[in-house]
Amino acid sequence: MPRKIILDLDTGIDDALALAYALGSPELEVIGITGTYGNVAVETGVRNALAILELFGRSDIPVYAGVPHARTRDSFEVLEISEFIHGVNGIGEAVLPEPSVQAAGGNAVDFLVQSVREHGEDLVIVPTGPSTTIAAAIEADDHFAENARIVMMGGALSVPGNVRPWAEANVNQDPEATDLLFRRSRDVTMIGLDVTLQTLLTTEETAQWRELGTAGGDFLADATDYYIRAYETTAPNLGGCGLHDPLAVAVAVDPSLVTCLDINLKVDLVGETRGRTIGDHDRLNDPVKTARVAVAVDVERFLAEFMQRLTSLAERTPARRDLVPQAADR
């Protein structure tokens, strides 16, 4: 029986790759997507998720719009750095047709709460953006906080942040929400920069997608090449782009890809370390640890799984449309 999964995405290039990983995993049944803000505004992220689902022939999966801004703010504006890394449209200016299916009518928080009530332990929730919508579900229902199994991309325990010296991008958007998640959830796995900056993709791999000659292969290659070019500017020492969000999905499929430290976590909320994910001093001696932080990753095995799953998914999409010859060529 495939494991049920809900993705909470700020779609985003690596969110798109995470969605593709989930769709390409026979061990998973994607029962829905909730859209958060972060790399893009909620509406743009929802639109991207719908368009990607359509590309891969999975418009049957519902997409719900989540909370549009951080808990301590009353609006959201895309940061310059997000636009630089993911493009104005969030998918590296790759062009996908307008989706023919609309976002689901219901509310993302209700969908999350109901899904945990219905599926319990058979469901895993994978947030790959700011924690705002998940925190709202925790506040809406104690049962959700007690029973939701969460594998999240966000935070940094043993390495610096990527948007500020102490803060990782997702946690930086809404530190209060991630703090609430860490304090109230009973089962959280944190896939942070400690491991995601070890899983890197290069144009050698994206060329394999382009060679497929399919619409899916072209999309994955176009979007990821944009992301790789951005990384060449912001982190040239890495030699590739970080596969942050897909690693979280991969761990939901196969936890043995990472080695974890059991720990009770919190987020610093004041001062220069605001947004830092760190052990909660007050719960240091509590024998019950509610979180696991990934501190090591089997890079080779993850990359092999990543390429196999995305390539076979892209292979099954329609052929790239034949180019119309230009007047000068005739």
Residues forming the site for Ca ion (CB under 5 A): 10, 12, 15, 128-129, 245
Asked if 276 is part of the footprint of ligand RIB (rule: CB under 6 A), the reply reads no
Residue type, 18: A
- State the CB neighbour count (10 A cutoff) for residue 71: 17
For residues 154 and 169, give the distance between their C-alpha atoms in angstroms, rounded to a whole number: 7
Closest residue to Ca ion: CB criterion:
128
Nearest of 20, 1, 290, 269 to residue 128 by alpha carbon: 20
Select the span of 11-19, 47-55, 59-67, 259-267 touching ligand RIB (CB under 6 A).
Answer: 11-19
Q: Which two tokens stand for residue 296?
A: 């090591």
Instruction: Specify whether 69 is catalytic.
Output: no
Strand 28-35 to strand 241-242: parallel, antiparallel, or no bridges (unpaired)?
unpaired
Burial label for 81, CB within 10 Å (0-12, 13-18, 19+), is middle
- Which of Ca ion, ligand RIB, none interacts with 162 (beta carbon under 5 to 8 A by kind)? ligand RIB
Of 183, 244, 292, 309, the one binding ligand RIB (CB under 6 A) is 244
For residues 209 and 247, give the distance between their C-alpha atoms in angstroms, rounded to a whole number: 19
Q: Which is nearer to ligand RIB, 194 or 218 (CB)?
A: 194
Q: Which is nearer to Ca ion, 49 or 215 (CB)?
A: 49
- Which of ligand RIB, Ca ion, none interacts with 168 (beta carbon under 5 to 8 A by kind)? ligand RIB
Select the span of 10-18, 40-48, 224-232, 283-291 touching ligand RIB (CB under 6 A).
Answer: 10-18
Catalytic residue among 141, 174, 225, 244, which?
244
Query: Which residues have a Cβ under 8 Å from the Cβ of 299 and sit 6 or more positions away?
Result: 198, 199
For residues 187 and 265, give the distance between their C-alpha atoms in angstroms, rounded to a whole number: 11
Question: For the chain, what is the radius of gyration of the CA atoms?
Answer: 19
Asked if 294 is part of the footprint of ligand RIB (rule: CB under 6 A), the reply reads no
For residues 2 and 216, give the distance between their C-alpha atoms in angstroms, rounded to a whole number: 24
For residues 148 and 30, give the distance between their C-alpha atoms in angstroms, rounded to a whole number: 16
Minimum CB separation from ligand RIB for residue 43, in Å? 16
Of 170, 185, 199, 264, the one binding ligand RIB (CB under 6 A) is 170
- Which of Ca ion, ligand RIB, none interacts with 174 (beta carbon under 5 to 8 A by kind)? none
Instruction: Specify whether 10 is catalytic.
Output: yes
Which parts of this chain interact with ligand RIB (CB under 6 A)? 10, 12, 14-15, 38-39, 128-129, 153, 162, 168-170, 244-245
The residues assigned a catalytic role are: 10, 244
